[in-house]
Structure 1
């Protein structure tokens, strides 16, 4: 099909709501201090309807504690730019292999029968160790949540997109990694680094598999982001390694992820993209 060498002037004008009419599922969006919440707000501000996945028991067991889901939902709703868009939320323990497919089905139903954007942001915190202390239980726990569930989510999403009309626009998958392939890696979190590395490695394969359904697949490494898990001297030491003198904030990677969800990023697929603010490792 012949293409014009340059877009028309009309095509160059950016839609203030580039995701109007689109729908998104964001996993791990249960805390206002987290990246998932920031991503959901950005997508909503771009016009999308959003389904927020949460697993409160995980956060309740962590030092930062759980957030009230009602407050998370209210915060995302405040960012809604399209009056016809909506925000829905639901729980799910993604360590259960039956949950990823069921979660995609629930999101499809709640968002009007079509899911455009899948952001697999969830991860297991803790339950990890260095090479000397890591054990089979740690490896299995991280495999189940950080890698297996993501692949099962993508599988269910791909089956849904395959049932839509050929060439249906807006298909996007964004996964999350953690810079485990950069500099000295993550020697103190072997199980986590292993599974996040698996997602980075499978990005290209998934992008090829989903290309026939007009879906792009990319993975984002957000770098060190202040999600309330570090304080004191350690916090300041990490901040000093950024040229800007501050940590990344949840909205920093959220801006990139929201852009990847738009039509402007239609030509970007199969990539692992670092969003680290020049962090010196």
Structure 2
């Protein structure tokens, strides 16, 4: 029997990349997975097809985060698909990409970043709490941008710092119910979506050279960490930020 058999999971932004890898990994462990997508309906359908093709169970729900009534739209689909079952695992993965350096970021871009990366996961958790049983799991994807000074990602790093603080405080609040709340912070992770950004001559080699484990990460590297936190084996871990970067920018390498 797989470790998550009989449980349900919602993964936001699961139509591609890290979210898709998380959804398929949780399904492989036996969970029924709600595959959320914003605009990529075909990608979400492909995620569901991959899960079902491997013998798992999943369904897709569309809701564009950062828009009015986004959480209500999301949970109308979630609750219809769950049909009265609880939601055991919530993974807040969906996020807007960095908007640029301080001098280039517009107010609209800044507001959009916070709407998708901070407001949405906060109110998704609020809405999910009545569905989460005691012993449930809440996992939010952060970023190593919170511990690095990257001028091109200031506003993005601010949003991820916010969800790390949210995770710590909610862990303290919800621990009485046995609900664990953690964040996972990926580093340089090559996906099908961002792969072209690593094609600049020497870039992939440079980033690998600043990573303790000497390579770029992949979606499965992050998904395995999330699956562990969702499992019973992680029952005594809460309020933490788990670095899943392979040791990006830890310091000079001898």
TM-score (norm 2): 0.89
Moved more, 115-124 or 242-251: 242-251
State the partner residue of 1:37. 20
State the partner residue of 2:237. 268
Residue 205 (structure 2) pairs with residue 236 (structure 1): yes
State the partner residue of 2:191. 227
Task: Please tell me whether the aligned partners of residues 65 and 116 of structure 2 are also in contact (alpha carbons under 8 angstroms).
Answer: yes
Aligned length: 244
State the partner residue of 1:280. 249
Give runs of ≥4 in structure 1 deviating > 6 Å.
Answer: none
- 1:1-281 matched pairs, under 5 angstroms: 16-31=1-16, 34-56=17-39, 68-80=43-55, 86-113=57-84, 114-126=86-98, 128-161=99-132, 168-169=134-135, 171-184=136-149, 186-228=150-192, 229=194, 230=197, 231-233=199-201, 234-280=203-249
Measured after TM superposition, the shift of residue 68 of structure 1 is: 3.8
Moved more, 148-157 or 106-115: 106-115
Task: Please tell me whether the aligned partners of residues 37 and 61 of structure 2 are also in contact (alpha carbons under 8 angstroms).
Answer: yes
Gaps of 5+ in 2: none
Task: Please tell me whether the aligned partners of residues 208 and 214 of structure 2 are also in contact (alpha carbons under 8 angstroms).
Answer: yes
Task: Please tell me whether the aligned partners of residues 226 and 250 of structure 1 are also in contact (alpha carbons under 8 angstroms).
Answer: yes
Task: Please tell me whether the aligned partners of residues 102 and 152 of structure 2 are also in contact (alpha carbons under 8 angstroms).
Answer: yes
Instruction: Report SS of the residue matched to 1:38.
Output: helix
Measured after TM superposition, the shift of residue 105 of structure 1 is: 4.2
> Is the alpha carbon distance of 1:195 and 1:103 closer, same or farther for their aligned partners in structure 2, counting shifts above 3 Å?
same
Task: Please tell me whether the aligned partners of residues 242 and 280 of structure 1 are also in contact (alpha carbons under 8 angstroms).
Answer: yes
Aligned-partner Cα distance in 1 for 2:242–2:81: 31
Measured after TM superposition, the shift of residue 96 of structure 1 is: 1.8
Gaps of 5+ in 1: 1-15, 58-65
Measured after TM superposition, the shift of residue 92 of structure 1 is: 0.7
> Is the alpha carbon distance of 1:219 and 1:125 closer, same or farther for their aligned partners in structure 2, counting shifts above 3 Å?
same
Instruction: Report SS of the residue matched to 1:267.
Output: coil
Moved more, 172-181 or 242-251: 242-251
Measured after TM superposition, the shift of residue 218 of structure 1 is: 0.2
Bigger proportion of residues as helix: 2
> Is the alpha carbon distance of 1:79 and 1:243 closer, same or farther for their aligned partners in structure 2, counting shifts above 3 Å?
farther
